[in-house]
Structure 1
Amino acid sequence: MPRLWLVEREYDDRNLISFVYATTDGTKQLRKELSATLLQQRSEPITAAIEVDEDELAPVDPDQQERYATEAQSVAESNEPDEPI
């Protein structure tokens, strides 16, 4: 299973928080959306990294790949995978 690192967190006006995890080469991603209310009620924290099946991953837009790779590598170097972030 590939390990992905948190590269982006966005808030919107519908009270949703989007988390984007990407591979360190910036080519694959997984986007999760959670409501702020659900996020507060979760017993599991959002961590620096996750491991998911390859078939759950989506390709990253080529315009975003370098940025995602840089951010994923930075997060990987400064955090343990299971560290809350």
Structure 2
Amino acid sequence: MNVSEAEADPADGGVRMWLVERTYSDDEQNMVILTYATPDGERYFRKERALTSFTDVRDTTAAVDAPPANVGTVDDPDDRERYAAEATRMANAHDPDDVI
């Protein structure tokens, strides 16, 4: 997949976002935060997921199609550069539904 194809999903109007970061919340136990971004690093989408048990299996995919209303703008230039590099790497290395 080339990067220009990674921007939007015309089927549902969602914005194609690629996984760029997976962190654990400092504020709450058993919470993982998944950050997805566009290949240009300009926009991001975050998903918070509670890890309720070992049998609670939910796949994390290489990409998601985020509703445009839930997409934020990346203001920090260092974050934008880092997100762009990782989103581009993910888009070039994986299909959107690859489990990561």
The TM-score with structure 1 as length reference comes to 0.87
Q: Paired residue for 2:76, among 62, 65, 68?
A: 62
Task: Note the aligned Cα RMSD (angstroms).
Answer: 1.7
List alignment gaps of at least 5 residues for structure 2: 1-13
TM-score by length of 2: 0.75
Q: Which residue of 1 aligns with 2:8?
A: none
What is the match of residue 80 of structure 1? 95
Q: Which residue does 2:25 correspond to in 1?
A: 12
The CA distance in 1 between the partners of 2:76 and 2:46, in whole Å, is: 16
The corresponding residue for 1:52 is: 66
Higher alpha-carbon Rg: 2
Give every structure 1 segment of 4 or more consecutive aligned residues whose post-TM-superposition deviation is greater than 6 Å: none
Q: Aligned partners of 1:50, 1:22: CA distance in 2, in Å?
A: 9
The separation in 2 between residues aligned to 1:81 and 1:38, in whole angstroms, is 26
Other-structure match for 2:51 = 36
Unaligned stretches of 5+ residues in structure 1? none
The structure with more helix, counted as a fraction of residues: 1
Percent of matched pairs sharing the same residue = 39
